[in-house]
Amino acid sequence: MINSSVKKLVVMDVDGVLFKGHFILHLARHAGILIYIRTALLCFLFNINKISIQELIARVYARFKGITLEQAKKVYQNITVIKHARETIETLHNHGYRVVLISSGVPDLFVKDLTARLSANCGYGVKIDIDNSQLTGEVFGRLSKSIGKKEIIEEILHENNLTWKDTIVLVDDRNNLNIMHKASINIGVNAHYPVRQQAQYLIDSRNLAEVLDILDIEAADTYKTLFAGMRKQYTHSWYQEIRRKLLHILIACVPVFSSMIYHTTLTVLFALPIVYLISECLRINGYSFPMLGSITKSSIRRTEERGIAFGPITLVLGAILALLFFPAIIASTVILIVAFADAAATIVGRSMGNHRIFYNKKKSWEGTIAAWIVAFLCGLIYLPISYALLAASFSSIIESLPLKSLDNLLVPISTGILLMCLGY
C-alpha cells in the first residue's frame, strides 16, 4: 500500500549506530572469553575485507548454539542505546520521514522490539533458528547476505512511492557501502575507516540528535531543545580551537619536568605518540580509547575527522628533538615558543584576523603579529633581547607558512638551529 504522506526514508543501521558496540560481541562476551576472542577476530577479518558479512554471521552464530533466548534477550536489553535516539526518531517521524531500523547482526525479534521502543516505523534483523527456547546456531533470511539490506530498502521505497534520491542512511561499517552509494544523503555514525572516508557527514558525538542538525529540521520543539547548546558551541569554530590550544599549551610543561627528571620526561614523551596513534586508529574505526579518545574527539577539527590527526605527534616529536639536540636554554625557549605563540596566532587570527597573508590565505597578519609578540616574550625568559627578537621573528615566519601540522615540528627545530648557528 502506497503511503503518499512520506517524503523521505531514513534508514538506520543498529549495531554501532543505535547500539554502543555490536550485539554479537556483547553476546560473545556473555558466552565466554574464547568465543569472544574468536568473534572479535572474525569481526576484524570482516572489517579488513577478508570475509563477507554472510560468512561472518554464519560462523559467529554457529558458536552461539545452546544459548537460551532469555540469555540473548538480557544481553540485548543491557546494550546502551545512543543518546537522544527516541527523541530524534520521533522528530523525524513527525516531519514526514519514515524511519526504518535494519541490521545484519541483530536478531529480527530484537530489532522489532527496538523499533517499538524508539518509535520507528519498522525494523528488520537477521533471522535466527530457535529450538526449545535455545539458539541452534543457524541463521537465515536476506539480511544474512550482503545484498539483503539493498533489497529490503528497495521494497520499502517502492511501497512508499519513493526512490533512492529520497533516502538517507545512517551507517557505520563496510557492509553498508552499497546502500551508501545509492542514497542521496549518507551519514557515518561512529564510522569505521571505509565508511568514514566516503560518508558525506560524520557523527562521532554518540548523540543521534546531530542528524537533525544535518537535515536542518529547525521547526521542531525537540530539535530546539536538543540543540540549544550544540548550535552555540559549533557555530563559532574557534571555541573548539580554544580547547585544542589549551591542550597544545600543555607541552610548555616539558622544560619544567625535563629540568628535574630529564630521562623520565623523555620516556613519557616517547610513549605518548604510540598511545596516541593507538587511540587514533580506534577513533577512525568508530571506537574510543579510554579518556584520551574523548579528549581527541572534542579537540580535532572537522577536516581531521576522516583520518589520523597528526598535530599532537609533530608537537611531541618537536619537543623530543629539542631536548635531545639542543642545550637546555635553547630547548626550553623553542618549546615555550611553539606552545604559546602558535596558540596566540590561532586565537587572535580566528577572532579578529581580517587581513589575510598573501602567501597563506588561511592565516592572517593579526595572528602572525600575535605569534611574534608572544614568541618574543617567551624568548626573553631565557635569552638576551637581540636573540629573543631574532627567535621571535624567525619562528613567526615559519608559523605563518602553509605547513599544516608540520609547524609544530619545524618551528622549534628551525628556531633552535638558528640560535645555535648564531653561537648562543
What does the pLDDT look like over 100-125, one tens digit per residue?
999 999 999 999 999 999 999 999 99
Instruction: Answer yes or no: do 44 and 163 share one domain.
Output: yes
Instruction: Answer yes or no: do 227 and 251 share one domain.
Output: no
| Listed residues 231, 251, 266: the one ending a domain | 231
Average pLDDT, the chain: 88
Domain count, the chain: 2
Domain encompassing residue 332: 236-421
- What is the DSSP pairing of strand 360-364 with strand 356-357? antiparallel
Instruction: Answer yes or no: do 256 and 402 share one domain.
Output: yes
pLDDT per residue over 23-33, tens digit each? Answer: 999 999 999 99
Report the pLDDT value the prediction gives residue 150, as an integer from 0 to 100: 95
Instruction: Answer yes or no: do 36 and 15 share one domain.
Output: yes
In a domain, 3, yes or no: no
Query: Is 203 in contact with 188 (CB distance < 8 Å)?
Result: yes
| Listed residues 181, 210, 231: the one ending a domain | 231
Cα-Cα-Cα-Cα dihedral sign, residues 401, 202, 297, 234: positive
Report the pLDDT value the prediction gives residue 339, as an integer from 0 to 100: 92
Helices (H) and strands (E) in the chain — how many of each? 21, 9
Instruction: Answer yes or no: do 379 and 276 share one domain.
Output: yes
This prediction has a pTM of 0.76
Query: Is 3 in contact with 114 (CB distance < 8 Å)?
Result: no
Query: How would residue 233 be classed by pLDDT, with cut points 50, 70 and 90?
Result: very low
Measured CA to CA, the distance from residue 214 to residue 234 in angstroms comes to: 13
| Listed residues 231, 250, 265: the one ending a domain | 231
Residue in the block written with cell 629573543: 388
DSSP states of 298-318: HHS-GGGTTS---HHHHHHHH
Secondary structure (3-state) at 168 = strand
In a domain, 212, yes or no: yes
Q: For residue 227, give the CATH number of its domain.
A: 3.40.50.1000
What region does 288 belong to: left with phi over 0, alpha with psi -120 to 50, or beta? beta
Q: Could you tell me which of 100, 104, 93 has the C-alpha nearest to residue 127?
A: 104
In a domain, 210, yes or no: yes
Report the pLDDT value the prediction gives residue 217, as an integer from 0 to 100: 60
Instruction: Answer yes or no: do 314 and 341 share one domain.
Output: yes
Across the range 81-108, mean pLDDT stands at: 93
